[in-house]
Amino acid sequence: MTLAKVKEETDMNTVYDTAVDSRTQEMNSIKQTSNAIFQAKDFNLWYGNNHALQDINLDFNENEISAIIGPSGCGKSTFIKSLNRMVELVPIVRTEGDIVYRDQSIFDKSSTVENLRTKVGMVFQKPNPFPKSIYDNVAYGARVHGIRNKKVLDQVVEKSLKGAAIWEEVKDRLNDNAYGLSGGQQQRICIARALAIEPDVILMDEPTSALDPISTTKVEDLMHELKKDYSIIIVTHNMQQAARISDRTAFFYQGYVVEYDKTNVIFDKPKDQRTEDYVSGRFG
Amino acid sequence: MELINKEQVSKKLSGRLMVNKVMKFIFLLCTLVGLVVLATLLIDTILDGWRYLTVDFFTNFSSSRPDNAGIRGAIIGTLWLMATTAPIAIILSVGTALYLEEYAPKNKLVDFVKINISNLAGVPSVVFGLLGLTLFVRMAGLGNSVLAAALTMSLMILPVIVVASQEAIRSVPGSIREASIGMGATKWQTITRIILPASIPGIITGIILALSRAIGETAPLVIIGIPTILLFTPTGVLDTFSALPMQIFSWVKLPNPEFQSITAAAILVLLFILFLMNSVAIYIRNKYSKRF
């Protein structure tokens, strides 16, 4: 508990620093400072012979929402799954180059992939709760990491469900199976589940593509709230969504990053013709 | 210009409906053939054997005198056999299924092994009996003991449970697997906390169906030389024993017509146990089957 508090305080300081940083930074356009949480450096990825990601160089900032947009098959999901090394579940994957998370390569042998995934949580495209109770779903991460104390688990569950803005809806039926909830509620349970391990970064792979508009709005509002405490990287098919919620947007096309800039720049005055065509709906 | 002649279509309609009806009857007939034969068999067995289903029948050992003949040795032997076979078979086959589905690398060799496990399920039980005779009875020196028979039976039902477990494990959606791994859970944690709980109904159904095959199997027991007339019950896995199917097999060969009825009674007991096991399997499948 004390450790968590200390962590929280340091996080708060970082938030403050970042706010100051980002103001000076805005004047320097997108020149990167050390507050990048993730840096892709000449990152390449192949599925067998298919060169899916080519020379990706991207820096993602702390306490921002970074959106990745692009047409189907452009590699955006592959890229976000590379950040927590989930892409390696596909056996034929091969990578080159590097991805740095807080000044350490994620491929560094001195740290384990489990450790990385504890710090970098993920919310998936389709709501995928476990066939367990709501409580057990949210407590899963904590339990996996060895927390057995019922009181601590209770607190983790409550805090995470509140953090995912679904506490009021489910607090009276925590022992019900999560499958009984609506799709939108299930997705917020999944977000709560990701928050429960107190990650540093949350990756979201098209989190609202299976949801109706009202649920989508709820999840988007939630992301605005989460931004204060977490850094979010989101893949989205929905350009309006990227425009609404993100601070920075990367446009992926055929495995390349075509353009990466502040979201308003990408949408209002993109430098590249392909970006302009895509965001104005001429293809994709 | 119409490509479809409406008149022709309506003319042919009655013919199509006729074929429809005829086919329905043919399939009904196919079903009835099986049902009637099985029902006749069952009714005949019940009529023949029910008179012998007395308390004495369950408490007496086998005897050459029909009035004294009972299945005590056989039924206790069968229970010993099942109690020994089940843990061996379950550990070996669920372990195999978990390795093949979760840990094994995806390559041609593993695919080859997977295909051959399914083929193994089709190997005749006599062959497994010969394997057991060579391997466990002779080479390992276990003799015609409970353990030797249980190991043989385990090998025989192993592929059945492996295949059922593999299917159950495969039916757990990848999405919840990813969710678990994505939170930093190890593979083993994902298996024990997510995959096994979700696939246990399918695995248990497979186990029970496989065990109910083992309980009625006679050929391997004949081959490894399990005695039929035994006047004691085993006290350990290294003792010899008799089993229900063996008892049935030996009684049915006797010339005394009264033994035919006693055989029928023993068959009824065996069928009842099978029926019970299958009911449990169906109950578990229905109760715990989950939709993803």
Determine the average pLDDT of the residues in B228-254. 85
Interface of A with B (CB under 8 A): 84, 86, 89, 91, 114-118, 121-122, 124, 126, 128-132, 140-141, 143-145, 179, 190, 193-194, 197
Find, among A186, A139, A175, the residue nearest to A159 by Cα.
Answer: A139
| B70-to-A171, B4, B54, B208 alpha-carbon distances in Å | 61, 75, 9, 27
**Residue pLDDT, tens place only, B12-66:** 888 899 999 999 999 999 999 999 999 999 999 999 888 888 888 888 888 878 8
**Cα distance between residue A279 and residue A251, in whole Å:** 9
Give the burial string for A112-128 (b: 16+ CB within 10 Å, else e): ebbebbbbbbbbbbbbb
Between chains, do B182 and A117 touch, taking CB under 8 Å as contact? Answer: yes
β-pair partners for A66: A233, A248
Contact pairs from chain A to chain B, CB under 8 Å: 68
Structural domain boundaries in chain A: 36-279
- DSSP state, A62? T
Q: B290 falls in which pLDDT band (50, 70, 90)?
A: low
**Cα distance between residue B183 and residue B193, in whole Å:** 13
Residue A17: what pLDDT?
46
Phi, psi of B121 (to 5 degrees): -65, -20
The pLDDT of residue A7 is above 80: no
* Other beta carbons within 10 Å of B58: 13
- Reading phi first (left if > 0) and then psi (alpha if -120 to 50, else beta), residue A60 is in beta
How far apart are the CA of A25 and the nearest CA of chain B, in angstroms? 33
Angle between helices B146-170 and B125-132 (to 10 degrees): 130
**Residue pLDDT, tens place only, A228-242:** 889 999 999 888 899
The pLDDT of residue A268 is above 70: yes
- Per DSSP, the three-state class of A25 is helix
Residue A24: what pLDDT?
44
* One-letter identity of residue A35: N
How far apart are the CA of A269 and the nearest CA of chain B, in angstroms? 37
**Cα distance between residue A92 and residue A87, in whole Å:** 10
| CATH, range A36-279 | 3.40.50.300
Determine the average pLDDT of the residues in B266-288. 88
Determine the average pLDDT of the residues in B273-288. 85
> A197: nearest CA in chain B?
B183
**Residue pLDDT, tens place only, B74-83:** 899 999 999 9
Among A154-158, A198-202, B63-67, B208-212, which is the least confidently predicted range? B63-67
Write out the two tokens for B87: 């843990």
Mark out the alpha helices in chain B (DSSP H runs): 6-49, 55-59, 72-98, 108-120, 125-132, 146-170, 174-182, 187-190, 196-216, 219-223, 244-251, 258-288
Consecutive H or E run containing A69: strand A65-69
**Cα distance between residue B194 and residue B187, in whole Å:** 10
> B194: nearest CA in chain A?
A130
Between chains, do B183 and A129 touch, taking CB under 8 Å as contact? Answer: no
Structural domain boundaries in chain B: 11-52, 57-288
Judged on CB neighbours under 10 Å (0-12, 13-18, 19+), A96 is exposed
Judged on CB neighbours under 10 Å (0-12, 13-18, 19+), A3 is exposed
Q: B289 falls in which pLDDT band (50, 70, 90)?
A: low
The residue with greater pLDDT, A233 or A30, is A233
| B261-to-B71, B251, B255, B268 alpha-carbon distances in Å | 13, 10, 12, 11
What's the CA dihedral at A143, A147, A150, A154 to 10 degrees?
-70
The residue with greater pLDDT, B89 or B73, is B89
Determine the average pLDDT of the residues in A174-188. 91
Tokens 């103001």, located at residue: A23
CB A249 within 8 A of CB A222: no
Q: A12 falls in which pLDDT band (50, 70, 90)?
A: very low
The pLDDT of residue A284 is above 70: no
The pLDDT of residue B231 is above 80: no
Cβ contacts of A198 on chain B, cutoff 8 Å: none
**Cα distance between residue A58 and residue A44, in whole Å:** 12
**Residue pLDDT, tens place only, A187-200:** 999 999 999 998 99
**Cα distance between residue A248 and residue A261, in whole Å:** 6
**Cα distance between residue A179 and residue B214, in whole Å:** 38
- CATH superfamily of the domain spanning B57-288: MetI-like (1.10.3720.10)
Write out the two tokens for B136: 């466990």
How far apart are the CA of A85 and the nearest CA of chain B, in angstroms? 9
> B102: nearest CA in chain A?
A89
CA-based max dimension of chain A? 56
**Cα distance between residue A205 and residue B142, in whole Å:** 59
Cβ contacts of B191 on chain A, cutoff 8 Å: none
**Residue pLDDT, tens place only, A96-148:** 999 999 988 999 888 899 999 999 999 998 899 999 999 999 999 999 999 99
**Residue pLDDT, tens place only, B136-177:** 999 998 988 999 999 999 999 999 999 999 999 999 998 999
Residue B291: what pLDDT?
52
Between chains, do A128 and B105 touch, taking CB under 8 Å as contact? Answer: no
Between chains, do B183 and A193 touch, taking CB under 8 Å as contact? Answer: yes
> B192: nearest CA in chain A?
A144
Q: What is the mean pLDDT of chain B?
A: 89
Between chains, do B106 and A144 touch, taking CB under 8 Å as contact? Answer: no
CA-based max dimension of chain B? 90
Phi, psi of A78 (to 5 degrees): -60, -40
